[in-house]
Amino acid sequence: MDINFNKNEDHNKLKLAELRKKLTQVKLGGGKKRIEKHHSKGKMTARERIDYLLDNETENIEIGAFAGEGMYEEHGGCPSGGVVVKIGYIQGKQCVVVANDATVKAGAWFPITGKKNLRAQEISIENKLPIIYLVDSAGVYLPMQDEIFPDKEHFGRIFRNNAVMSSMGITQISAVMGSCVAGGAYLPIMSDEAMIVDKTGSIFLAGSYLVKAAIGESIDNETLGGATTHSEVSGVTDYKAKNDKDALDKIKRIVGKIGDFEKAGFNRIEPKDPTENPKDIYGILPLSRGDQYDMLEIIKRLVDNSEFDQYKEGYGKTILTGYARINGWAVGIVANQRKVVKTKKGEMQFGGVIYSDSADKATRFIANCNQKKIPLVFLQDVTGFMVGSKSEHGGIIKDGAKMVNAVSNSVVPKFTIVVGNSYGAGNYAMCGKAYDPRLIVAWPSAELAVMSGNSAAKVLLQIEKASLEKNGEALDAQKEKALFDRIKQRYDNQISPYYAAARLWTDAIIDPLETRKWISMGIEASNHAPLEKQFNMGVLQV
């Protein structure tokens, strides 16, 4: 190992330590005092409920752990968006579980809460996975109601999805384990089956205070909408549970009786570990996002037996394409090569940049994977498409459009790993969030933006300088540097993987060593949903 490997390793392990520290804090939800108050009511926390529900000693993945990170400080914050979402196994069946975290603003819905719930339903719909809702919420967070209530991607879309999912035959089970008020009361009742926990669960369109104000009726909440009322009088719920664990046990028994599913038929054989040490990834990934490295060495540490059969190996070298297996599943990999390469014509091409030939190669490979019904894995470390007169005259826009077209119309499941840079149109061509990856995750080394912080700061500085000069103000070298540093710091904050994860542009930030697990569980989920369309790229400018 050389000195650079050791420096890289130290740097990336520090980033990993930062990730683990942040995750530990996030998992406290509203904090230790609120957790204790929650326990004093005889209730489990959202994470405790999910842990009890999922099968012991089985793998699970969490969606949106950093949702809302740093977004609502003036409102006291909203850790994990006030809701915990995991994909795991219940009685051996892969399911999506959604649990309101009542330690965060009594489980109230912030704008990011709605977006995260919709993401959970999207995963369930795309993969036809059963979804379990563990409800404990005070409803819409009223100070921000205008950002969560009326629009297509807001609160009401949840109930629309309940209805659509039911028509698709996707199992939905709800347990009301705390408050369930106003419009939120429709979610459990639009599920296939609903249960309510005695004494702690309640469902009503309006609570006792609002009933008193609206129609003058005096009634307590338990009589108005408690477990006995809805299980024995209204018939709104199907089961009454003694406590949280009793409700979760009932869910386990129901899920355990669900019949088998029709499979998509993705190819899988006995899994094999990589022969190259996956921990080497920490030393291969450079400190700086501008430095070069060989993406092929990363791939060898992610795939079974470290075997990667390259497609068009000698052509379009700034993108690596080829077939491999991950945890036994057959995959097609599209990855940005991050080292400078030399073409057959003797020309040098920059690593991380998409050229016409590499876009053409990727387009052909994506089409091949669709024809063979092989899921696609995108490894992003891309600065964008090549610019300049030579590229423009060579039709880079046309070739890039073909690649974007292929990604957009792909019918096999797609999975995106943001390894390093994810800039501009490169993010789109390499299956960014807008292009419907089944799952998209980032490593701690990731950066997502229109361009790098350094490039963006230079552009923004020129605009700022021009504006000041127009007003007769001049900048000396010292003031110019201070302005540049201030702009760059603001932009650098926005390209952080945590900024992206807070807004659900990615589903998670993960340890690189967890990549195989995420892809494997993602393909297993996808295998629940047979492909319903044929691959068709439509009209192309050839």
DSSP state of 234: S
CA 336/CA 358 separation, integer angstroms: 9
pLDDT at 456: 74
Q: Report helix, strand or coil for 499.
A: helix
| Cα R_g (the chain), whole angstroms | 25
Q: What letters, b where the CB count within 10 A reaches 16 and e where it falls short, cover 31-46?
A: eeebbeebeeeebbbb
Low-confidence ranges of the chain (pLDDT < 50): none
H/E element, 173: strand 172-181
Other C-beta atoms within 10 Å of 471: how many?
6
435: closest CA among 494, 391, 475, 380? 380
pLDDT at 1: 58
E-strand stretches of 389-477 = 414-423, 439-442, 447-449
pTM of the model: 0.94
Exposed / middle / buried, residue 302 (Cβ in 10 Å: 0-12, 13-18, 19+): buried
H/E element, 114: helix 111-127
Sorted by sequence, the CB contacts under 8 Å of residue 23 that are 6+ apart come out as: 65
CA 415/CA 522 separation, integer angstroms: 8
Yes or no: say if 355 and 316 are a contact pair by the CB < 8 Å rule.
Answer: yes
E-strand stretches of 337-400 = 341-342, 348-349, 353-354, 376-382, 384-385
CA 507/CA 96 separation, integer angstroms: 14
HSE value, Cβ hemisphere, 13 Å, CA-based, for 111? 16
